[in-house]
């Protein structure tokens, strides 16, 4: 409860902060934080993912992905910083490109928020339908329509892949242990 005579006196307290002119500080992203990510911007709102993929078609086999920011901004995620730097040199009439460190606030915020999804794009490993086919055939209880030579070829391919994986693991271990590789 307030006490005292407050009639007749008015006091106006000035605010400590000017909320009308408040500016959000710019998100600081250095070039070394996401060197494999670039901003793609200033393209028509009608553009879809396929259109952007067409612009960067030469990078798709090396590993390239697109993450949308808004209708006219997207992030290009490459497999390596070298590939991203190379892509910055692309000249296209409908699309502009810049490093993430020079990107808009929204693009930087998206990169920060989805950092775990912006890991360098990697090619999908070589796969085989043999396991899936075997599981489906056994679940349905039907005979395989695959010829014996096709099954043998698929089995040989799987064995070669296993051997290649084993050899790569051995080479990595030898390098780690400092063993001579010329003896292998």
In Å, how far are 1, 10, 115, 169, 171 from 7, measured between CA atoms?
Answer: 15, 8, 59, 86, 89
- Is the pLDDT at 29 greater than 70, yes or no? no
Mean pLDDT of 109-130: 74
Q: Is the dihedral of CA 87, 93, 97, 102 positive or negative?
A: positive
How does residue 62 score in pLDDT terms, banded at 50, 70 and 90? confident
- Is the pLDDT at 21 greater than 90, yes or no? no
Distance, first Cα to last Cα, the chain: 89
**Which residues lie below 8 Å from residue 182, measured CB to CB, with a gap of 6+?**
none
Helices 148-177/130-140 angle, 10° precision: 130
Q: Is the dihedral of CA 118, 99, 49, 128 positive or negative?
A: negative
**What value, to the nearest 5°, has the Cα angle with vertex 55 and ends 53 and 57?**
60
Q: Are 37 and 111 in contact (CB under 8 A)?
A: yes
Mean pLDDT of 50-75: 89
**Residues 79-106: pLDDT tens digits?**
888 888 898 988 888 999 999 888 888 8
CA distance 181 to 98: 43
63: left (phi over 0), alpha (psi -120 to 50) or beta: left
CA distance 139 to 145: 15
**Residues 3-12: pLDDT tens digits?**
555 566 677 8
Instruction: Specify the DSSP class assigned to residue 24.
Output: P
Percent above pLDDT 70 for the chain? 83
Domain 37-114, CATH homologous superfamily name and number:
RRM (RNA recognition motif) domain (3.30.70.330)
Q: Are 112 and 29 in contact (CB under 8 A)?
A: yes
Measured in residues, the chain has a length of: 184
């Amino acid at each position: 409860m307030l006490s005292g005579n407050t009639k007749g006196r008015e006091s106006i307290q000035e605010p400590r902060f000017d909320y009308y002119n408040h500016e959000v500080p710019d998100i600081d992203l250095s070039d070394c934080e996401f060197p494999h990510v670039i901003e793609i911007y200033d393209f028509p709102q009608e553009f879809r993912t396929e259109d952007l993929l067409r612009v960067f078609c030469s990078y798709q086999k090396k590993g390239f992905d697109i993450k949308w920011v808004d209708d006219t901004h997207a992030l290009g995620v490459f497999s390596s910083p070298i590939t991203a730097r190379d892509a910055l040199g692309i000249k296209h009439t409908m699309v502009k490109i810049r490093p993430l460190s020079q990107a808009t606030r929204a693009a930087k915020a998206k990169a920060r928020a989805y950092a775990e999804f912006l890991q360098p794009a990697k090619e999908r490993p070589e796969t085989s339908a043999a396991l899936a086919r075997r599981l489906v055939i056994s679940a349905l209880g039907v005979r395989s329509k695959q010829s014996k030579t096709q099954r043998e070829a698929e089995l040989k391919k799987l064995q070669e892949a296993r051997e290649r994986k084993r050899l790569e693991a051995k080479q990595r271990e030898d390098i780690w242990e400092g063993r001579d590789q010329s003896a292998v």
